[in-house]
Amino acid sequence: MVKQAKTYSDFVLCTVYEDIPADVVERAKDLILDLIAVSAAAHAIKASKLGRETAVRLFNSATEDDKARILFDGRTASIAGAAYAGATQIDNLDAHDGYSSAKGHAGCGLFPAVLAFAEKDVHFSGRDLLTSMVIGYEIGCRAGLALHGTVTDYHSSGAWISLAVAALGVRLNGADRNTLRHAIGIAEYYGPRSQMMREIDNPTMLHDGSGWGSMVGVVAAELALAGFEGAPAITIEGDSAAEYWRNLASDWLTSRQNIKLFPVCRWAHAPIQAALDLRSEHAISVNDIKRIEIHAFHEATRLAQDMPETTSKAQYSICYPVAAALTYGKLGAREVSGETFADPDIAKLVSLTAVAECPECNESFPQDRLGRTIIETRDGRRLDSGIVRAPGEHTNPVDRMGIIDKYREYVFPVLGCSRAKQIEETVFMLDRNDMLLNKLTDLLYPVIE
């Protein structure tokens, strides 16, 4: 086995809570709270419901030992089914964290998988959850970098979520390096290397492949634990991938996750923020606007540019979210839920919007999501935002209070104040010596009425 794979194995199997810097642990708590917020808010979305129903019908368990509860559902499936349902739910409200350099997400597939694995262990602690999530972020994000750096096609996040989940499955079952190697090989081979731009060009419920990635990771781990063999993972052991694994346990990517302030594809966030800035600075109303120009990097210009008919299309749009933000002065879960798809003011602004490719934005992608919005008013003004960075990057992070504000906005309407606050308090106490995970999961699994 080549050197970087051995380093990888040591990190996955031997890292303990005390090895993780305190600031990384604190950020992991923030990310967990954010994922819970998105999961709860996504509960009623059609794709989420279908994912849960499918998990219960088709991915259930024949034994009690392999059963796992489904987030905010009240029912059980197999460990793989619960991971699939939970990740599909989070993935279908595009408000969860991401890693810009890898052009995708890890947390949405990690969190429900770790919870499902943990159902086997009544002694699983809050510290175990934090440690597992950090290992998952570190492995998943590097696998994403390695994948995109060594192949020409742009694959969905499920392709590398599967590797991180498989690694955690082996770790949490106490297996050895050889089992880990096979699990990762299985996960890389079977992982959903979905063509991401196909989904961007034709927005559907497929989203970022996170549900399938999480499920494949669980299955890969279970197969390896049973003795199934997998070919070495090129993403980890290939010579061209070595550079992506050298800084494990020294450069913590968990702290580099972005936080989404808008529940749509991150590629649209800079133009949305630019539009909101112009609206606030110049007190613009819908009736003041004659024309809107959106300037963005190439991939962003391929987002949908007409009025959406579905929440999936709304989340993979560029003109609609900018128009909705200008109309309402904000862009939250309601604005992508379907309630505003027939709003004549939004439709009017969408019809007045043109999208153009921006060379400067192209040069900065994927490390930076840049954009620009220009508004021409009916009284002859041309209001130019200039180049704007998507808010919430790790270079200008959303702090804990900002994440709490987002959490409460998303969760209070669906869980109620009391349950939501109990979850919030519990998340920030996960690293207490006496904190068992069931103190959190007992709040997460009951069905949302």
- pLDDT tens by residue, the chain, 449 residues: 345 555 899 999 999 999 999 999 999 999 999 999 999 999 999 999 999 999 999 999 989 889 999 999 999 999 999 999 999 999 999 999 999 999 999 999 999 999 999 999 999 999 999 999 999 999 999 999 999 998 888 889 999 999 999 999 999 999 999 999 999 999 999 999 988 888 989 999 999 999 999 999 999 999 999 999 999 999 999 989 999 999 999 999 999 999 999 999 999 999 999 999 999 999 999 999 999 999 999 999 999 999 999 999 999 999 999 999 999 999 999 999 999 999 999 999 999 999 999 999 999 998 889 999 999 999 999 999 999 999 999 988 999 999 999 999 999 999 999 999 999 999 999 999 999 999 999 999 999 98
Peptide bond into 308 cis (omega under 30): no
- In a domain? residue 304: yes
Domain boundary among 389, 417, 432: 389
Q: How many domains does the chain have?
A: 2
Tell me which residue range forms the domain holding 297. Answer: 266-389
From CA 212, how far away is CA 198, in angstroms rounded? 17
Q: How crowded is residue 90: how many other Cβ atoms within 10 Å of its Cβ?
A: 34
On whether both 191 and 43 belong to a single domain, the answer is: yes
- In a domain? residue 396: no
**In CATH, what number is assigned to the domain containing residue 374?**
3.30.1330.120
What is residue 154's predicted lDDT score, i.e. its pLDDT? Answer: 87
From CA 382, how far away is CA 402, in angstroms rounded? 32
**In CATH, what number is assigned to the domain containing residue 218?**
1.10.4100.10
On whether both 305 and 418 belong to a single domain, the answer is: no
On whether both 180 and 85 belong to a single domain, the answer is: yes
Measured CA to CA in angstroms, residue 169 lies from 13, 80, 218, 220, 336 at distances of 10, 11, 6, 8, 34
Domain boundary among 342, 360, 389: 389
- In a domain? residue 402: no
From CA 67, how far away is CA 82, in angstroms rounded? 8
On whether both 339 and 209 belong to a single domain, the answer is: no
On whether both 76 and 182 belong to a single domain, the answer is: yes
State the pTM of this model. Answer: 0.96
On whether both 187 and 64 belong to a single domain, the answer is: yes
What is residue 2's predicted lDDT score, i.e. its pLDDT? Answer: 44
- In a domain? residue 394: no
On whether both 96 and 214 belong to a single domain, the answer is: yes
* Phi/psi of residue 152, nearest 5 degrees: -90, -25
On whether both 245 and 272 belong to a single domain, the answer is: no
- In a domain? residue 12: yes
On whether both 273 and 251 belong to a single domain, the answer is: no
- In a domain? residue 404: no
On whether both 163 and 118 belong to a single domain, the answer is: yes
Q: What is the DSSP letter of 70?
A: P
On whether both 46 and 14 belong to a single domain, the answer is: yes
Which residue in 138, 148, 126, 174 sits closest to 14, CA to CA?
A: 174
On whether both 56 and 190 belong to a single domain, the answer is: yes
